[in-house]
């Protein structure tokens, strides 16, 4: 049977290397066990959410106990939300990328992990994020989202500058009044306004949604992923309710309807394009809604505070280098932020990649083995059977000490130069290497380039306006909560 197994090596960059005999490593059975039914899942869930080391500690303790970075364990939520919590966890940079190889793993309905939220929350449709590339609607839907992200490309930078310029104006007012300003609240409002104006040419403030969309969306997101979140409620309430049962979709139906009405109207030209691609108008509506509200708004809600946190903590010397670089590049382009000016900001680029490495905004990815195979880590090959669920915890891949020096540190210039560039393929926030682009055949994030662009725009905007700034950081259910405590206006 050895011959019929496929060997998946993660450090592999091409098909040739995947089966390269050079990488034959000693075989090892995946260590760890799932414990008895129900009890094992329950114990792992409690440790994951409420254990002393938190989520990171949960995985690190398994690696220590079994002296292995590929282990069996149960992932939350388990019963009664998920049918089967058992996974083979990939906890290093070498084994993780097997999840990107759609010839080896099936991604059907695995977007949120071991359970899929009710399609009642998405207009009755299985939206693209849950669809495997082998399904016939994957390619048309992904094409539609590429269109959504590119058809108004000339509006992205000016709209971003206008909306996020206003955000910093509001934050300056807060600071003048009370000495601090919460970034998250302002970011929620700005993110949705920016997305709709840039990608659809419509300001939600001038629609029946008024300024309510961020609240409606946040609640709707909660109804989908509450089984995965630590909301800081009393343990018995939170675990006994939110992690054990699904919240009834009927309770957000009205909110969802208002969002759908907005996109049905504001998205007309994108929906038209969907029709040309063979996508029914209603299916396009709900896919556009999901891409804008879950993927894009949800992503910005996690990534932008994370960017501000790591930049803020990086300190004055780094701020000075960034401000110098950004202002020189913008001056060289007639005082405008352009794609060309951004291309001439190597430190900004590196600082963005480094934030995406040190804190990947979406930490967990899943894929089901399509056949018996050997998953290769650095030192061992692990036998995996067809049908087993593979799970990757991305922070342990992108902070693998075998790949990255000082892995836990935010090193803004890490990716500069030739040596830095060689590390980029190990940055995998987008469900693929940073050196690759999403295609119609894979599950790499459709928004990859857009996300990197707007993160660079955020850094550029900050350092055009300010020489330096300070932050206070706390944690929230979806990423960091960041309070800005000073903004030092640009002096050069």
- Is 298 one of the binding residues for ligand 243 (CB under 6 A)? yes
We find the least distance from the C-beta atom of residue 40 to ligand 243, in angstroms, to be: 22
Site string for ligand HEM, 70-109 (x = CB under 6 A): -------------------------------------x--
Q: Which helix (H) or strand (E) holds 426?
A: none
Q: Which two tokens stand for residue 427?
A: 């940055």
Binding to ligand HEM, residues 253-292 (CB under 6 A): 291
Q: Name the residue nearer to ligand 243 (CB basis): 225 or 314.
A: 225
Q: Are 89 and 394 in contact (CB under 8 A)?
A: no
Strand 381-384, strand 27-28: pairing: parallel
Distance separating alpha carbons of residues 414 and 111, to the nearest angstrom: 30
- Is 431 one of the binding residues for ligand HEM (CB under 6 A)? yes
Q: Which stretch binds ligand 243 (CB under 6 A): 88-96, 268-276, 290-298, 398-406?
A: 290-298
Distance separating alpha carbons of residues 60 and 78, to the nearest angstrom: 20
- Is 305 one of the binding residues for ligand 243 (CB under 6 A)? no
Distance separating alpha carbons of residues 442 and 440, to the nearest angstrom: 6
Q: Name the residue nearer to ligand 243 (CB basis): 8 or 292.
A: 292
Place of tokens 């290093």: 92
Among 181, 295, 398, 444, binds ligand 243 (CB under 6 A): 295
Closest by CA to 388, choosing from 2, 88, 33, is 88
Closest by CA to 186, choosing from 204, 198, 172, is 172
Q: Which stretch binds ligand HEM (CB under 6 A): 28-36, 329-337, 395-403, 438-446?
A: 438-446
For 152, 259, 318, the CA distances from 472, given in Å and listed in that order, are 36, 33, 18
Q: Are 73 and 238 in contact (CB under 8 A)?
A: no
Q: Which stretch binds ligand HEM (CB under 6 A): 126-134, 151-159, 163-171, 400-408?
A: 126-134
> How many H-runs (helices) and E-runs (strands) does the chain carry?
18, 12
Distance separating alpha carbons of residues 456 and 460, to the nearest angstrom: 6
Name which of ligand HEM, ligand 243, none residue 453 binds, using a CB cut-off of 5 to 8 Å depending on partner kind. none
We find the least distance from the C-beta atom of residue 8 to ligand 243, in angstroms, to be: 22
Q: Point out the residue whose Cβ comes nearest to ligand 243.
A: 298
We find the least distance from the C-beta atom of residue 432 to ligand 243, in angstroms, to be: 13
Closest by CA to 107, choosing from 122, 93, 86, 128, is 128
By the criterion CB under 6 A, which residues form the site for ligand 243? 111-112, 221, 225, 228, 294-295, 298-299, 302, 362-363, 478
By the criterion CB under 6 A, which residues form the site for ligand HEM? 107, 111, 128-129, 131, 142, 145, 149, 291, 295-296, 299, 303, 361-362, 365, 429-431, 443, 445-447, 450-451
């Amino acid at each position: 049977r050895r011959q019929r197994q496929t060997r998946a090596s993660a450090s592999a960059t091409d098909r040739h290397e995947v089966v390269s005999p050079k990488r034959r490593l000693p075989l090892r059975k995946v260590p760890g066990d799932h414990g008895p039914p129900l009890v094992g899942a329950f114990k792992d869930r409690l440790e994951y959410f409420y254990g002393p080391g938190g989520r990171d500690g949960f995985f690190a303790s398994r690696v220590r106990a079994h002296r292995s970075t590929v282990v069996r364990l149960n992932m939350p939520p388990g019963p009664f939300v998920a049918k089967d919590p058992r996974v083979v966890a990939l906890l290093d940079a070498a084994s993780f990328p097997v999840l990107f190889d759609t010839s080896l793993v099936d991604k059907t309905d695995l977007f949120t992990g071991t359970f899929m939220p009710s399609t009642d929350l998405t207009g009755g449709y299985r939206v693209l994020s849950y669809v495997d590339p082998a399904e016939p609607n994957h390619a048309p839907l992904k094409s539609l989202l590429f269109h959504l992200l590119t058809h108004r490309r000339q509006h992205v930078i000016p709209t971003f500058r206008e909306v996020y310029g206003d955000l910093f104006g509001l934050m300056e007012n807060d600071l003048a009044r009370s000495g601090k300003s919460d970034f998250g609240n302002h970011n929620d409002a700005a993110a949705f306004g920016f997305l709709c104006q840039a990608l659809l040419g419509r300001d939600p403030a001038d629609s029946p949604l008024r300024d309510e969309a961020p609240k409606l969306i946040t609640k709707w997101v909660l109804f989908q992923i509450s089984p995965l979140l630590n909301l800081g409620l009393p343990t018995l309430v939170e675990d006994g309710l939110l992690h054990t049962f699904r919240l009834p979709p009927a309770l957000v139906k009205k909110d969802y309807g208002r969002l759908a009405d907005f996109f049905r109207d504001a998205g007309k030209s994108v929906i038209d394009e969907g029709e040309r691609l063979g996508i029914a108008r209603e299916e396009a509506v709900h896919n556009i809604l999901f891409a804008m509200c879950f993927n894009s708004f949800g992503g910005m809600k996690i990534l932008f505070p994370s960017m501000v946190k790591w930049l803020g903590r990086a300190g004055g010397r780094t701020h000075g280098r960034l401000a110098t670089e950004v202002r020189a590049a913008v001056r060289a382009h007639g005082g405008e932020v352009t794609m060309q000016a951004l291309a001439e900001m190597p430190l900004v680029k590196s600082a963005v990649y480094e934030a995406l490495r040190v804190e990947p905004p979406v930490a967990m990815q899943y894929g089901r083995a399509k056949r018996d195979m050997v998953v290769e880590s650095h030192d061992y090959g692990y036998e995996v059977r067809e049908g087993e669920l593979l799970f990757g915890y991305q922070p342990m891949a992108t902070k693998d000490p075998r790949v990255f020096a000082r892995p836990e540190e935010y090193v803004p210039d890490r990716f500069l130069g030739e040596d830095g560039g060689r590390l980029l393929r190990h940055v995998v926030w987008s469900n693929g290497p940073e050196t690759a682009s999403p295609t119609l055949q894979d599950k790499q994030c459709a928004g990859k380039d857009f996300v990197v662009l707007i993160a660079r725009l955020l850094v550029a905007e900050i350092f055009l306006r300010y020489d330096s700034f300070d932050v206070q950081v706390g944690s929230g259910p979806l990423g960091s909560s960041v309070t800005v405590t000073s903004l030092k206006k640009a002096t050069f």
